Amino acid sequence: MRWDMSRCWVMLLACLLIAPALAEPVASPADAAQILAASDKARGGGLPGIAWKVTVVTAKGGRDTDSMTLEVKSNGDDNLMEIQSPAKARGRKILMRKNNMWFSSPKVSKPVPISPRQRLSGQASYGDVAATDYVRDYTATLVGTDTVEGETCYVLDLAAANQSVTYDRIKYWVAQTSGLGVKAEFYTVSGKLIKAARFQYENSIAYEGRSIPFVSRMQITDTLAADAVTTLTYSAIETRPLSARDFQLN
């Protein structure tokens, strides 16, 4: 009887030691907004003072049909895009302040309001060229995981926070290891897939004392015309203080 009681005390003590561990809350799923905010930085979102060049090339049937180069400056919620080539479009500017956008050119007396959804070239919209701030513009929901070219990714469903954003809905794949957005599908409010994109990150920038990846290529495919491809190539990226005067509407 004494042996049985001793064994009971030992078992009771073991249960008391284990109980706190069992009571620990199960780790919650990764926060979708945090995943999105981290991925935005590699595409210029939420960064104070960053500039780059982007070349937009449109191809159909394997042949280039159009090319355009822009200089982009981004400072928080503000973006300024100025066309450098072709020569006939040089000097045209697009100012984006949050989701409000205006177009100006040497031949226009005052800025003209435009939409981020309007196309710049091929399948590239004005909103595609500006810094990406998905965490501000969309409500993110983590819907699962998937594998893209051998890499495990979070799959996020992004619903537009308002009607002035570039897309109504985005399905976004973010790599778990690197935190970079690697693939996206863009939908209308009715759920129609209009285009898809893939991203590469061979550039880097200095941010908070460390080097972080920055987008080098975005390739957009027209889902209705598979042979129509628009490629955005990013270069000359630098982080530096930018004057607030660059982003004034006047």
Domain containing residue 171: CATH number: 2.50.20.10
Q: What is the mean pLDDT of residues 168-189?
A: 96
41-62 residue pLDDT tens: 999 998 889 999 999 999 988 7
Would the pLDDT of 29 be above 60? no
Residue 29 phi/psi, 5-degree rounding, is -60, 155
Q: pLDDT at position 20, please?
A: 34
* 114 within domain boundaries: yes
Mean pLDDT of 162-171: 92
In a domain, 26, yes or no: no
**For range 153-175, the mean pLDDT:** 94
Highest mean pLDDT: which of 21-30, 49-58, 101-110, 119-128? Answer: 49-58
Phi, psi dihedrals of residue 146, rounded to the nearest 5° = -155, 165
- Domain range for 166 is 32-247
* Contact between residue 83 and residue 93 where contact means Cβ atoms under 8 Å apart: yes
Q: Give residue 17's pLDDT.
A: 36
22 has a pLDDT exceeding 70: no
Specify if 22 maps to a domain.
no
Dihedral of the alpha carbons of 11, 17, 21, 22, in degrees to the nearest 10: 30
In a domain, 6, yes or no: no
- With 50 as the cut, is the pLDDT of residue 18 above it? no
Name the average pLDDT for the chain. 86
Residue 5 has pLDDT above 50, yes or no: no
DSSP conformation letters of 8-43? HHHHHHHHHHHHHHHHSPPPPPPPHHHHHHHHHHTT
Choice among 105-109, 113-117, 140-144 with the minimum mean pLDDT: 105-109
Give the number of other CB atoms < 10 A from CB of residue 8.
10
Specify if 7 maps to a domain.
no
What six digits make up the tokens of 241?
A: 């203080």
Beta-bridged to residue 248, according to DSSP, are: none
In percent, the amount of the chain with pLDDT more than 90 equals: 64
In a domain, 13, yes or no: no
Following DSSP, what letter does each residue of the chain receive, concatenated? Answer: -HHHHHHHHHHHHHHHHHHHHHHSPPPPPPPHHHHHHHHHHTTTTT-SSEEEEEEEEEEETTEEEEEEEEEEEEETTEEEEEEEESGGGTT-EEEEETTEEEEE-TT-SS-EEE-TTSEEETTEEHHHHSPP-HHHHEEEEEEEEEEETTEEEEEEEEEESSTTSS-SEEEEEEETTT--EEEEEEE-TT--EEEEEEEE--EEEEETTEEEEE--EEEEEESS-TTEEEEEEEEEEEE----GGGG---
- pTM (2 d.p.): 0.84
- Give residue 246's pLDDT: 85
Structure tokens at 51: 């500039």
pLDDT value at residue 222: 86
> 12 lies in a domain?
no
Q: How many domains does the chain have?
A: 1
**CA–CA separation, 56 and 120 (whole Å):** 9
pLDDT, tens digit (0-9, with 9 covering 90-100), for 180-233: 999 999 999 899 999 999 999 999 998 888 899 999 999 999 887 778 899 999
Neighbours of 249 (CB within 10 A): 10
- In the prediction, which pLDDT does 30 show? 54
Q: Compute the average pLDDT of residues 93-109.
A: 90
CA distances from 23 to 11, 12, 15, 30, 161 (A): 18, 16, 12, 21, 38
Cα(204)–Cα(143) distance, integer angstroms: 29
- Residue 130 placed within a domain: yes
Q: In which band, very low, low, confident or very high, does the pLDDT at 142 lie, cut at 50, 70 and 90?
A: very high
